[in-house]
Amino acid sequence: MAERRKSAVSHETAAEQGIRDQEVLRANRELAAYFKGRRTERAARAALKIIKAFVRDRERRDAGSCPPLPGAGVAKTPKEVANRKAARDGGEPHRRKPRRKPRGTLSTGVTAIEPRVNADSPRSSVSDERTPE
């Protein structure tokens, strides 16, 4: 069985390269979705085959002639940007909201303790040595 090898020089047009980059980016998203539990193993295996073929092709090329990795120069999508919390103007760090004081506390932060006095409680028949009967 003869082994087929492509030459080190690729004769792809810019359009074909763009399509392939888009395919690799899609496969990368599919693989990420699999690890988040949103895709099946079958879809992940198909995506992995695309990524492996891309890596093999880059290994065959000269380091100087390799185009940049797909997605390296792409800005974040609006959905990704919307998920992040917006930074404050001027680059100030996010400040926490002050905590609310729970009910039943005094201004000093000490919880008020009310004495429990029950006037209806019956006196015990046993006398205390300190109190006269």
Is residue 116, in this structure, part of any structural domain at all? Answer: no
Q: How far apart are CA 4 and CA 96, in angstroms?
A: 63
Q: How far apart are CA 61 and CA 75, in angstroms?
A: 27
What are the C-alpha distances in Å from 26 to residues 22, 32, 35, 56?
6, 10, 15, 18
Tens of pLDDT along the chain (133 residues)? 555 555 555 567 889 989 999 999 999 999 999 999 999 999 999 999 999 999 999 999 888 888 888 888 766 666 655 555 555 455 666 677 777 777 765 556 566 666 666 656 555 555 556 666 5
Instruction: Say how many domains are in the chain.
Output: 1
Is residue 55, in this structure, part of any structural domain at all? Answer: yes
Structural domain for 35, as ranges: 14-84
Is residue 8, in this structure, part of any structural domain at all? Answer: no
